[in-house]
Structures are given as structure tokens and as C-alpha cells.
Structure 1
Amino acid sequence: MVTSDFKPRGVCARMIHVELSDDGSTIEHVAFEGGCNGNLKAIGKLVAGQSVDEIVSLLEGNTCGPRKTSCADQLTLALREAQAQARS
């Protein structure tokens, strides 16, 4: 299992904890610190067991109000960073 902590920028969440399968292709677990607690717990539940590529394709570029990013968009960056760690 690959674990990674990612500090998001431009959003309310302070940290995103990611766990991927050994090959970096599947999301095992996601947890957010800070932000909209209920919504971010729901995101973690919805993405568990899903393909990193599918989730990135679905959430990349998502915005929050006037912000150019969102916790979901920042999650895509966290997933790609963890995936790069798995492949190195």
C-alpha cells in the first residue's frame, strides 16, 4: 500500500491523506482534515475502491464558489502525487 499526505492549496481542507494500492492504480482510502466535514467524508467513501484515473477524470477542474479549485480538484493532485510515488 502506498500512503501519502498532501497539503492542498486554495481550499478549506488543511490536509488530504491518501492510500493507494501497491501499483498506484486503485484508491484504498482518502481522508481530509478540515473543510466541509460531511461532504469530504462522503467523497472519501465514494472514491474508495475506484480507479485513480477514473476519479481524476471525473473531479479534475471542479471549482468551489468563486475559487478556481475545490477540495475535489485538490484531491486529484493528491492522487497523482501518490500515484507517482507508487511508480517510482
Structure 2
Amino acid sequence: MKTVYQTEGTCCRQIELEVDGDVVKSVRFLGGCHGNLQGIARLVEGMNVADVVSRLSGIRCGMKPTSCPDQLSLALRQAVSRS
């Protein structure tokens, strides 16, 4: 299932992702720190959604209450709840 998630509170504006059952198939960040986010996307592809969420949830960026990885965890939760 393909999902587009509009982020809040981060440099990245949007996350496009595809989940097949409970496995992350692909992730694409729009905006943000391109190299770092490209690395995160490649690392999580093929991983179990619950594992990604548990590892990335709650990560903060400086003084911000969220981060791009945290927003990815929220996007994945939303994608799984819709399927």
C-alpha cells in the first residue's frame, strides 16, 4: 500500500512510503537533509514496520519535539492503521 504523509515540525515536507503487509518496501523523503534521509530510507527498506517504529519513535532534532525519523515512525503507524 502506497501512502503519502505530510510531516509537521521538520525540514522534510513529505514522506512517500510503501508498505506490504508488515514490511517496509520503500521510503522517499521530500526536503530535509538529502544524504541522511536517503540513508535512513535505505536502512529501513525490507524491515518489519514494528521494528522501524520502535527504533525511530521519539527521536528529536535539536530542540524540536520531533525529527524526520520520528515523522517516519508516525507515517508508518498511519499506513498500517489504514490497511
Asked whether the two chains share a fold, i.e. TM above 0.5, the reply is yes
Q: Which runs of 5+ in 2 are unaligned?
A: none
Q: Which residue of 1 aligns with 2:2?
A: 3
TM-score (normalizing by structure 1): 0.92
The answer to whether 1:20 aligns with 2:24 is: no
**Percentage identity across paired residues of the two chains:** 42
Which runs of structure 1 show a deviation greater than 4 angstroms over 4 or more consecutive aligned residues? none
Deviation at residue 27 of structure 1 after TM alignment: 0.1
| RMSD, aligned α-carbons | 0.5
Deviation at residue 5 of structure 1 after TM alignment: 0.2
Among 6, 13, 38, the residue aligned to 1:41: 38
Aligned length: 83
TM-score (normalizing by structure 2): 0.98
In structure 2, C-alpha distance between the alignment counterparts of 1:59 and 1:13, rounded to whole Å: 15
- The structure showing larger relative contact order (alpha-carbon pairs under 8 Å, at least 6 residues apart) is 1
> Alpha-carbon deviations, 1:4-34, whole Å to 9, x = none?
000000000010001000x2x0000000000
Q: Secondary structure at the match of 1:57?
A: helix
Q: Which runs of 5+ in 1 are unaligned?
A: none
> Alpha-carbon deviations, 1:53-82, whole Å to 9, x = none?
001000100000110100000000100111
